[in-house]
Structure 1
Amino acid sequence: MSDMLHLIEPLIPALRRYARALLRERAAADDLVQDCLERAIGRWHLRRADGNVQGWLFAILHNLAINRLRQSQSRGRHIAIEDAGEAVLSQPPAQEDGLHHGDVLRALDLLPEDQRSVLLLVSVEDLSYAEAAAVLGVPVGTVMSRLARGRERLRGILEDGTDIAARRGAHLRRVK
């Protein structure tokens, strides 16, 4: 036991420096060093008797750090509750966003199919005008025109709940 302490204790400052350089956070680095030492002591019997203790400890520390970084990427960053502000602990209400989302979907349903298709392809699916024109089999100018009319009509529906063309009393005429 004293042999183990004699070999490990002088390496603790170097382990701390390395852990802080990896994690960039003092508390997390200290926890990492503690976990490393706990693992090394618990598995002391598994190390090679003629092996390099320093290399073994740094390998343990490095592997633990990589595992923590991977976990933090999937879980998000850890913040101590006393360090967290009110904005971190609370969320803005989402009810209005849900209502607005529903309004947009209902307004899209009110658009003519040709305008809705162009609006979805260009604004939602992020296709270029040329790509949307190819998908729909129409000229690029037609895509641009339908998109402009669709956006205007959608804006009118969302602003006051009525179709902008009906509000203006405008009707489309067929020109021969």
Structure 2
Amino acid sequence: MSFESDLLVWLPHLRRYARALTRDPAWADDLVQDTLERALSKWRWGRGGNLRAWLLTLLRHRFIDQLRSRREVAFDDEEAPWQQQPAATGEVDGLLLRDVERALYRLPLEQREVLLLIALEELSYQEAAKVLKVPVGTVMSRLSRARERMRILLTEPAADATPGRPPLKVVKHSP
């Protein structure tokens, strides 16, 4: 196999990770394209390395560079688009997914990155540590804190709920 065909194997993974980071399909596609261009220009790749981890590292670095240039470092803003989107109409699964998505983006970036790499991209702790350039213990610690925070965010009652009554969601119904 050629280097270019090896890159194509990981393209769906790069797109999925980029979309999870950006929540914007156009930005994610641009991010993947930038990553692939950088990978092709830095083609010092030798056999025996982990191409997937290297590509995810390139993508993550490019994402951080773009955040810095846009000055959009915080994703946990209450006014962010994903906090304001109406829930999917008539779909319980859509409501659950929306809750998970909102909870995910309330995590600090460091915890969210680890959770996405381990849970979504199914990297090992060692691979995630290599992508993030942190020790394996840091990956494990961040993942533990991310899972615990997600658990809390997904089970805490709404702030305006009356004690003794289950929290209710307001679902906008569009005809």
TM-score by length of 1: 0.38
Give the helix-richer structure, 1 or 2. Answer: 1
Larger radius of gyration: 1
The answer to which structure, 1 or 2, has the higher relative contact order (CA under 8 A, 6+ apart) is 2
TM-score by length of 2: 0.38
